């Protein structure tokens, strides 16, 4: 995956820059828009401006080059005037607009704001549709159903396993480990090979989940994958999973991208915007209790209202 600007200067391709300096799930819901851009501008080199660790995930999209961008605090590492087309897939706030304006691109694709032409920003629509709607308004064909990913280059270490993803980026999305452990115990008893996934920072949660499960007779030590996988291997684990149980995180979006059955536990985020597309997916939440503070350190009440029995009933309904 190309991440250096030096190589851009050595060819004559015009540059299209798509700004979305966010997390894995944010990339995955933007895949339909990126696919639309690739089809509409085959002569352009498309740069995706996002944090450095997202590079492996871009290989699953295909045809996209990476511009490491940790956030919106500093100007993008592209000379002014070097970008032909700048696309704001980040949002519609002042910071992302400024970073786009600084590029001095020949064409800007963005929502309407402060003299910028574009569609009005609206709430309550799926994120996949938000970004394809933006492109459609600007005359660029994009289909929100075009969200599937390429297969990872690596093989799944546990094909056919049931993935219980214990992590999440914020405390507001952290379902209690005791409940994850109970789900793992019951699924193991029902014949599932359960593996526990999460990032390096979530290894402790996975270990605690495994220890609690062991107290109830389910030894998951061999399935402790949290903190031990790169992004490609993690995606491969999801791609060949029997079932995925996860909060509203990148794991859930990967399950959608690979059409694997999933049970998704929602807390602060609105399901109508961030929920999975039609498919073998069940969303569990309590909308009437949702506090909606994504950055809270405490689990959202809508998430805590989801019980172990709710998850197990959802698995049974899907026939997994």
The string of pLDDT tens digits covering residues 292-301 is: 999 999 999 9
User: What digits encode the pLDDT tens for the residues 277-288?
Assistant: 999 999 999 999
- Give the three-state DSSP class for 202: helix
At 77, list the tokens. 């590492």
Work out the percent of the chain whose per-residue pLDDT is above 90.
95
- 288-to-61, 267, 274, 296, 308 alpha-carbon distances in Å: 36, 11, 17, 18, 19
Closest to 19 in 3D by CA, of 136, 128, 73, 100? 100
Q: What is the mean pLDDT of the chain?
A: 95
Q: Is residue 101 domain-shared with residue 168, that is, in the same domain? A: no
Q: Do 181 and 213 contact (CB within 8 A), yes or no?
A: yes
User: What digits encode the pLDDT tens for the residues 80-123?
Assistant: 999 999 999 999 999 999 999 999 999 999 999 987 899 999 99
Residue 146 domain-assigned (yes or no): no
Residue 209 domain-assigned (yes or no): yes
User: What digits encode the pLDDT tens for the residues 125-152?
Assistant: 999 999 999 999 999 999 999 999 999 9
Q: What total of structural domains would you count in the chain? A: 2
At 123, list the tokens. 């709430």
At 106, list the tokens. 């020949």
| Domain containing residue 207 | 162-318
Quote the radius of gyration of the chain (alpha carbons, Å): 20
Amino acid 26: pLDDT? 95
Amino acid 1: pLDDT? 39
- Whether pTM > 0.85 for this model: the answer is yes
Residue 111 domain-assigned (yes or no): yes
124: domain CATH number? 3.40.50.2000
Q: Please name every residue paired with 108 in a beta bridge, in sequence order, or none if there are none.
A: 86
- The pLDDT of 225-254, averaged and rounded, is 96
Of 103, 137, 171, the residue that ends a domain is 137
Q: Is residue 182 domain-shared with residue 250, that is, in the same domain? A: yes
Q: Is residue 114 domain-shared with residue 257, that is, in the same domain? A: no
């Amino acid at each position: 995956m190309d991440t250096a600007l030096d190589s851009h200067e050595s060819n004559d391709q015009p540059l299209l820059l798509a700004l979305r300096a966010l997390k894995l799930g944010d990339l995955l819901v933007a895949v339909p828009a990126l696919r639309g851009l690739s089809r509409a501008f085959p002569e352009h080199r498309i740069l995706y401006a996002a944090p450095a660790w997202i590079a492996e995930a871009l290989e699953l999209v295909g045809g996209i080059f990476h511009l490491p961008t940790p956030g919106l605090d500093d100007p993008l590492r592209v000379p002014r005037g070097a970008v032909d087309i700048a696309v704001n897939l980040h949002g519609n706030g002042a910071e992302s607009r400024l970073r786009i304006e600084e590029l001095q691109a020949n064409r800007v694709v963005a929502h309407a704001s402060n003299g910028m032409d574009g569609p009005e920003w609206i709430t309550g629509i799926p994120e996949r549709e938000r970004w394809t709607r933006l492109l459609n308004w600007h005359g660029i064909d994009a289909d929100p159903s075009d969200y599937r990913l390429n297969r990872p280059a690596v093989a799944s270490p546990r094909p056919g396993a049931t993935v219980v993803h214990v992590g999440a980026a914020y405390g507001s999305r952290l379902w209690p480990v005791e409940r994850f452990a109970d789900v793992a115990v019951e699924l193991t008893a029902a014949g599932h090979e359960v593996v526990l996934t999460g990032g390096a920072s979530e290894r402790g949660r996975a270990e605690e989940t495994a220890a609690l499960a062991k107290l109830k007779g389910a030894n998951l030590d061999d399935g402790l994958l949290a903190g031990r996988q790169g992004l490609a291997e993690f995606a491969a684990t999801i791609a060949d999973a029997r079932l995925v149980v996860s909060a509203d995180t990148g794991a859930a979006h990967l399950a959608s991208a690979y059409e694997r059955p999933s049970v998704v536990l929602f807390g602060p985020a609105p399901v109508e915007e961030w929920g999975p597309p039609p498919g073998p997916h069940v969303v569990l939440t309590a909308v009437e209790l949702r506090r909606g503070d994504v950055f809270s350190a405490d689990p959202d009440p809508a998430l805590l209202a989801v019980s172990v029995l709710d998850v197990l009933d959802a698995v049974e309904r899907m026939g997994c």
